Amino acid sequence: MRLVFAIITFVAAAVLLAFGIGVRTAPEPVQKYDYAVESEGSAPLTIVDGSTLNALDGRQTMTVRGDGQIVAAYARRADVLAWVGSASYNEVAFRDADGEACTPDPSAPELCGLESIAHPGDELAVPDPYGADLWIEDFRDEGSLRMTETFPVDLTYVLASDGTAPAPAEIELAWPTPPPASREVSAWFIIAGAVLGVIGLVLLLGAVYRMRHKGGPKRRMPKVPKRPTIKSVRSPKAAAARAGAGVVILAIAAVGLGNAGTPAIAASTPQPTPTPGATEPGAAIPALDERQIRRIFERVRDTIGTADEGNDAALAATRVDGPALELKTADYALRAKDAGQIPSSPAIPQDGELALSLPQQVPADSDAWPRRLFLVAAQPQALEGGEPAPTATATPTPGPDGTVAPEPAVAVLPPVAMVLTQAGPRDAYKVEYLVALQADIPEVPATEDGTALLPPDSSLVSFPLAGVTPAYVDILTQDTASPVYDAFDIANDRFILGWGLAKQQAQQQNQAGQESPNNMAFATTAGDSPLIALATTEGGAIVTGTVRQLANVSPAEAGAKVIGQGDIQLLSGVERTERGYASTYVGQLLFYVPPLDSEGPIVVLGYAGGIVSSKEL
């Protein structure tokens, strides 16, 4: 009887499951709540806030139509408004008859409708927003753009054409309607079928057990003299087949249950994945997420790589600034006259990977600028344990013949560290410092947490941040006589080999000992580039600094001439002179300053340096 009941139960379960799944998956006309608005005027931008897109439940669909190009981008509301700045813009929001904010009711659409609110401004044109570093995601199409997504409340869309023409006028927002009652009831049929399937499986297993261990079902057989009683033996294979059928039915039930609580949603393109959740007002959050950082790094790497190939200082200036641009510009000027010149600014490996990324933290509801980003890039060989050759040390003074012998090229480039700055919301992130690493980076916070920007007078570190570069300059000029000599890890520092007092004295002696002796004087000072200090995990700081060194070479005898060769001749354009040469060298430095309770020394993590100008005295 157990076997009979199991079969009946399985049949009933199959019927319930088939009915429930059939009702749920039956095609239905697409239904949705629609709201549309058409903007007027010539404002170049339109914004749609996350609260508007979440006015109704469900996955939102926004359709934008206009003439020509349409650009849609999103970021946090504070960042979007900072990018908009003083420009005229429209804001799409729900308003009632009195112009007050309201929540739409699909059953009474006349009480709360979608409106376009004009915000006059001083600018009637803005840059094309597509491709700006500020956006989490951006999209572009011609004529119309449709996006379906689940949009967080704390993000805001900005819509534009090309920044000059008026923003797209037609905007439509839509949400799916709740599923019909029949689809909700179908879930109960699926659940009931699944329950009966489980009961049937239990009965089936009980029947199989009884047949295998108790001789199967008993039947009364007529007694025939001298003949044994015939026993009914069920095949184990047949029992296993029935058990497998039960498992299949349960699998069908599980699929039905998985679909029971989720309405069918048609995918659309594009489907961005916004940053989930809302952020508490005033909370410190990273200014960039991993998608933005990777996109910025690829743009920087490609732009600088192209500029390096063509010695294009104008192109480099779109992604490089400060002391890094000063070195790049000098490199290009030298290589334009002599292609064999070894650049003093390290190259970003075109096959390099991001080994570390650390964005600056900013308040979630703040529009504070400038913003910083710290990156480390390395070739795969270096990340896999390849041993990069030491960074070439650019000697900031001419040799006996006025030239600097370049070091040989290396197969594996050293990892490079970059400190990038975004001056304002509409600006691109630019590399201010680009150095080759000579020491390991200390432990820093995770990318998704970001790091704080420390003030110059921070009391959290073992050495005053504002005094790090001046102290290092004092070591370059006084060597071991400097009172702060022991505060730095000089033993492992290669920068000092080409810029320190010992090197200066050796070159002065060399110039004085020539057949036509020359006088040589040095002046080393700290640069005036802004101090950037990023907090590490243990309370220390990664600190930037610049060093400027002026080297003057003049003849020691009246009527004698100084011969300028190599970099000096190329930059000054003078082969020999009776007055001499004044050459300026710039060094970029990246320091690690330990935390307050540490007794460790300050470490030069990386550097880059070389000649940037030379002229006749």
The Cα–Cα gap between 564 and 582 comes to: 11
Q: Is residue 274 part of a domain?
A: no
Measured in degrees and rounded to the nearest 5, phi and psi for residue 337 equal: -95, -25
Same domain (yes/no): 594, 484 = yes
Cis peptide before 370 (omega within 30 of 0): yes
Query: b/e string for 370-406 if b means 16 or more Cβ within 10 A?
Result: ebbbbbbbbbeebeeeeebeebbbbbbbbeeebebee
The Cα–Cα gap between 50 and 81 comes to: 13
Predicted confidence at residue 389, as pLDDT, reads 42
| 559 CB-contact burial (10 Å; exposed 0-12 / middle 13-18 / buried 19+) | exposed
Same domain (yes/no): 77, 200 = no
Q: Which of 186 and 435 is assigned the larger pLDDT?
A: 435
Q: Is residue 473 part of a domain?
A: yes
Residue 371 has pLDDT above 50, yes or no: yes
pLDDT, tens digit, 9 for 90 and up, residues 217-275: 544 444 444 444 434 334 444 444 444 444 333 343 343 434 433 333 333 344 444 44
Tokens of 125: 């044109």
Predicted confidence at residue 214, as pLDDT, reads 61
Q: Is residue 21 part of a domain?
A: yes
Q: Is residue 270 part of a domain?
A: no
pTM score, whole prediction = 0.76
The Cα–Cα gap between 485 and 488 comes to: 6
Q: Is residue 272 part of a domain?
A: no
Give the pLDDT band of residue 295 (cuts 50, 70, 90): very high
Contact 596, 539 (CB under 8 A): yes
Q: Is residue 278 part of a domain?
A: no
Sorted by sequence, the CB contacts under 8 Å of residue 314 that are 6+ apart come out as none
- Of 48, 170, 72, the closest CA to residue 128 belongs to 72
Same domain (yes/no): 447, 562 = yes
Tokens of 162: 């090309």
The Cα–Cα gap between 268 and 270 comes to: 6
Residue 34 has pLDDT above 80, yes or no: yes
Mean model confidence pLDDT for the chain: 82
Give the pLDDT band of residue 296 (cuts 50, 70, 90): very high
Same domain (yes/no): 199, 297 = no
DSSP string, 557-572: STT--EEP-HHHHHHH
- Of 405, 374, 408, the closest CA to residue 391 belongs to 408
pLDDT, tens digit, 9 for 90 and up, residues 98-154: 999 999 988 888 899 999 999 999 999 999 999 999 999 999 999 999 999 889 999
- Of 138, 148, 88, the closest CA to residue 116 belongs to 88
Express as a percent the part of the chain with pLDDT over 70: 79
Same domain (yes/no): 115, 57 = yes
Count how many domains the chain has: 3
The Cα–Cα gap between 321 and 330 comes to: 13
- Of 65, 56, 58, the closest CA to residue 36 belongs to 65
Q: Is residue 447 part of a domain?
A: yes
Same domain (yes/no): 445, 465 = yes
pLDDT, tens digit, 9 for 90 and up, residues 51-63: 999 999 888 999 9
The Cα–Cα gap between 614 and 581 comes to: 7
The Cα–Cα gap between 554 and 568 comes to: 13
Same domain (yes/no): 242, 373 = no
Taking only Cα atoms into account, the Rg of the chain, rounded to an integer number of angstroms, comes to: 37
Domain end residue (candidates: 244, 260, 276): 260
Same domain (yes/no): 12, 154 = no
Domain assignment of residue 457, given as a range: 284-616
Q: Is residue 474 part of a domain?
A: yes
Predicted confidence at residue 515, as pLDDT, reads 74
The Cα–Cα gap between 38 and 168 comes to: 9
Same domain (yes/no): 254, 380 = no
Same domain (yes/no): 7, 131 = no
Same domain (yes/no): 345, 385 = yes
Q: Which helix (H) or strand (E) holds 74?
A: strand 60-76
Same domain (yes/no): 243, 163 = no
